[in-house]
Amino acid sequence: MSDKSHAYKNFGGKVGKVFSTSEPEWPMPPTAPPDAPNVLVMLVDDLGFSDLGCFGSEIETPALDKLAADGIQYTNFHVNPMCSPTRASLLTGLNSHMAGMGHVAHFDPGFPGYAMEIREDALTMGDLFQDHGWASLMIGKWHLCKDSQLSEAGPKHSWPLQKGFERFYGILGGFTNFHQPHRLHEDNHALDVDDYPEDYYFTDDLTDQAIKMIKELRSSDPIKPWFMYFAHGAVHAPLQAKIEDIEKYKGKYDAGWDEFRKQRFERQQELGVVPDKAILPDRNFEQNHEVKPWGDLTSMEKELFARYQEIFAGMVDNVDQNFKRLRDELERMGEWENTIIVFTSDNGGSREGQELGTSAYFRTLLAFTGHTDLESTELDHSRIDLLGGPRSLAHYPMGWAMASNTPFRLYKTNTHQGGQQVPLIVHWGKGLPSDKELRHQYQHVTDILPTICELVE
């Protein structure tokens, strides 16, 4: 038999005429270096620059604030101003158009830069880590394949397990109901869920599944390092939160977006997140992006709009709670100190709720295409007690997105800084000493992959 046979390509042994004159070889599986770190890349959805306490927010995020204090906090980090393009750049290290994801993944317009799937020859973080001996795990929101490929019929070549991940739990599309997800996937198949527990909440579930995956790995291999891409569905619309998390912020936002934007800016200056000499810009005024002064709103609008932000704050708070829960478990398992943590957001705060916000998120999405007029604030106000629960799909008005993106202008989808400058925190207890000085140098999402590769070498 010829050594050039395809079946024996790269075979390092010897094939003789009989078994006794042959020499076997067993290929070694890829093995990570001794004491290689775990890697956790956590991406939050639509979290604005000022939405964490360490970046100026009044929202309580003690676990993430501690991560920043113990690690490295970056104040000049930039992403693409939309969801799927940032995800593609994060996972591949490529410009989003070069990766095939020049826009949000829905339909394919027929051009390579907008193929709505990561191109076939582009390696992802999942590929790289798996090929070098790490377990490769993914939790949360994918949103990197076309709408036409989301069904069980496939094709599945752009699903997570075909893009470098060995395990997956979450959603393939862009968003879902946090209390009753419409379509969950595990690995390469959809889950058949008839009913959810009354206390079910998507962010809690994702954290449960992340912990479960790591424990399952450790039950069979006590030393193999893992890479986990944890892409939260929060805090993307629909704005839905647990009752206790909403109640925590009840009445908190009655002063309105102008006041909280001002307070956040002042806190950012105190923290050193923005320079002392910086000046807070006027509220957004561009056509179709303009924000009314809070004082010009009716009492009904103020009550409704404040409620939207109470829900949003509850969602951010819950992300922090779940991060602490994951950290506590990693510490209990002895995994924390040798785990590289990268925490960031895919883009700035979203203006998809438009001027008035909504109790029905699809309504404002349709309005962007001109198919329907916005329904009345009176109707949304009549649903105020439903907001945040499973029977409403709320989104806040863009005045709160303006506050979310303090001190920058405009929003998600805009190339202004409000759309693409977001928080970044990096922590590695064993390998990176904490840096009390904030890092103000420019970084871009395409820097993340090569930087992690350099750290784990």
State the catalytic residue, choosing from 78, 83, 236, 289: 83
List Cα–Cα distances, 304 to 33, 84, 129, 250, in angstroms.
55, 31, 47, 12
Residue 457 CB burial class (10 angstroms; 0-12, 13-18, ≥19) = exposed
Is 143 tagged catalytic?
yes
- Indicate the residue type of 120: E
In a domain, 311, yes or no: yes
Q: 168 - beta bridge partners?
A: 138
CA–CA dist 318, 311 (Å, integer): 11
Average pLDDT on 206-214 reads 99
Options 78, 97, 132, 143, the catalytic residue: 143
| pTM of the complete model beyond 0.75 | yes
Q: Work out how many domains the chain is built from and give that number.
A: 1
What whole-number distance in Å separates Cα of residue 60 and Cα of residue 37? 30
pLDDT band at 115 (very low <50, low <70, confident <90, very high): very high
Q: According to the model, what pLDDT value does residue 1 have?
A: 43
Known active-site residue 453:
no
First to last CA, the chain: 40
Give exposure, 186-221, as e/b (b: 16+ Cβ within 10 Å).
Answer: eeeeeeeeeebeeebbbbbbbbebbbebbeebbeee
The pLDDT of residue 129 is above 90: yes
Cis amide linkage into residue 155, ω under 30° from 0 = yes
Domain coverage including residue 200: 36-456
Q: Which of 129-133, 357-361, 373-377 has the lowest mean pLDDT?
A: 373-377
Distance set, CA 449 to CA 176, 298, 303, 434 (Å) = 28, 48, 44, 21
Are the C-beta atoms of 67 and 430 separated by less than 8 Å? no
> Within 10 Å of residue 93's Cβ, how many Cβ atoms?
23
Confidence of residue 368 (pLDDT cuts 50, 70, 90): low
| Residues 96-105, mean pLDDT to the nearest whole number | 96
Q: What is the DSSP string of 401-434?
A: HHHHTTTS-S-TTSSSHHHHEEEEEEEBTTTB--
Instruction: Give the mean pLDDT of 242-264.
Output: 98
Helices (H), 186-292: 202-220, 243-247, 257-271
pLDDT 10s digits, 387-427:
999 999 999 999 999 999 999 999 999 999 999 999 999 99
Q: What is the DSSP-derived secondary structure letter of residue 230?
A: E
Give the Cα separation of 179 and 238 in Å (integer).
10
Higher pLDDT, 150 or 294: 294
Evaluate whether residue 15 is within a structural domain: no
Question: What's the confidence (pLDDT) of residue 4?
Answer: 59
Out of 8-17, 253-262, 328-337, 438-447, pick the least confident.
Answer: 8-17
- What is the reported pLDDT for 434? 80
Residue 71 has pLDDT above 70, yes or no: yes
Paired tokens of 456: 């784990």
Does residue 382 surpass a pLDDT of 50? Answer: yes
Distance CA 102, CA 105 (A): 9
Per-residue pLDDT at 9 exceeds 90: no
Please tell me the predicted confidence (pLDDT) of residue 457: 85
pLDDT band at 362 (very low <50, low <70, confident <90, very high): confident
Dihedrals φ, ψ of 139, to 5°? -130, 135
* pLDDT surpassing 70 at residue 97: yes
Average pLDDT of span 283-306:
96
Strands 339-345 and 421-427: antiparallel
CATH number of the domain at 193, please: 3.40.720.10
Q: Give domain status of residue 417, yes or no.
A: yes
Q: Is the confidence at residue 109, as pLDDT, over 70?
A: yes
- In a domain, residue 7? The reply is no
Residue 140: which of 43, 64, 61 has the closest Cα?
43
> Looking at per-residue confidence, does 377 or 226 come out higher?
226
Q: Which residue in 413, 299, 435 sits closest to 352, CA to CA?
A: 413
Instruction: Determine, yes or no, domain membership for 185.
Output: yes
Q: How far is CA 150 from CA 72, 107, 114, 143, in A?
A: 38, 11, 17, 10
Q: What is the pLDDT of residue 376?
A: 80
pLDDT category at 373 given cuts 50, 70, 90 is: low
Instruction: Give the pLDDT mean for 124-132.
Output: 98
- Mean pLDDT for 169-192 is 97
pLDDT at 371 over 60: no
- Asked whether residue 24 is assigned to any structural domain, the reply reads no
Has residue 105 been placed in a domain?
yes
- Residue 17, in any domain of the structure: no
Mean pLDDT of the chain: 95
Q: Using 50, 70 and 90 to split pLDDT, how confident is the model at 374?
A: low
Mean predicted confidence (pLDDT) in 166-177: 98
pLDDT grade, residue 337 (50/70/90)? very high
How far is CA 308 from its chain centroid? 21
Q: Taking residues 89-116, report their average pLDDT.
A: 94
Residue type, 216: E
